[in-house]
Amino acid sequence: MGSSLQSTQVTLNPYAELPEVIQPIVKAWKGCQDCSLGQGVCNYVFYRGSAPCDVLFIGEAPGYDEDMCGLPFVGKSGTILESWIQLVKDEGLKFTYGVTNVVACIPKAINEETGKKTVRAPSKEEADACKLRLLTTITRASPRLICVVGKTAKKYLRIPARGMEKEYNTPVLELQHPAYVLRKGGRNSLEYKRNFLYLKEAIENL
């Protein structure tokens, strides 16, 4: 299955083309109400990409684009993540990958200053409620490398430090979240190049 970015339009069945090994996760957790995040979501966001895969990217939570289409990392942050992946492939490295998040539902909030809707980081309770789903995803994706995307995902997966660690019986690499990289200047920033090089080195060592 290909791993290109999808349209952010609302789709009737965003899960139809997910890999066969991911379908039981959709069946088990679609409609989940184990925490309050399941109330009022447009779509539960489980996965995109190949499974099993060589590399599994784990972010923190869906945003509005992801909530609309039911697929993770399809907005601006997803564009940055995909560009890192493509740069690594342009170096001649061949690998398959999948993408998921610590929580499967968008954590909505209201900005107290502006009164506008926004997206916040998931709480520990929300991450804990979704942990079995995430661990099942990791098991079914069976990656050779886990890339933890951002500090929130790192915290809830209990990764001790930047770099390769033996957690979940799989090497783990921490990447800065693409949203942070965008705030630092996007593709023209030093952070963008650093994270690409971290990813390239980790995949070279698989």
pTM equals 0.91
Segment 113-118 mean pLDDT: 88
Cβ atoms 146, 154 nearer than 8 A: no
Q: For position 62, which CATH number holds?
A: 3.40.470.10
In the DSSP assignment, the letter for residue 101 is E
Element (H, E) at 148: strand 145-149
Q: Quote the CA–CA distance of 49 and 64 in Å, as a whole number.
A: 19
In a domain, 40, yes or no: yes
Q: Quote the CA–CA distance of 159 and 191 in Å, as a whole number.
A: 20
Segment 172-187 mean pLDDT: 96
In a domain, 21, yes or no: no
3 pLDDT band, cuts 50/70/90, is very low
In a domain, 63, yes or no: yes
In a domain, 25, yes or no: no
10 pLDDT band, cuts 50/70/90, is low
Cβ atoms 82, 190 nearer than 8 A: no
pLDDT digits (tens, 9 = 90+) for 155-164: 998 766 555 5
Residue 157 belongs to what domain range? 33-204
List CB contacts of 4: < 8 A, sequence separation 6 or more.
82
Q: How many domains does the chain have?
A: 1
In a domain, 3, yes or no: no
Average pLDDT, the chain: 91
pLDDT digits (tens, 9 = 90+) for 49-105: 999 999 999 999 999 999 999 999 999 999 999 999 999 999 999 999 999 999 999
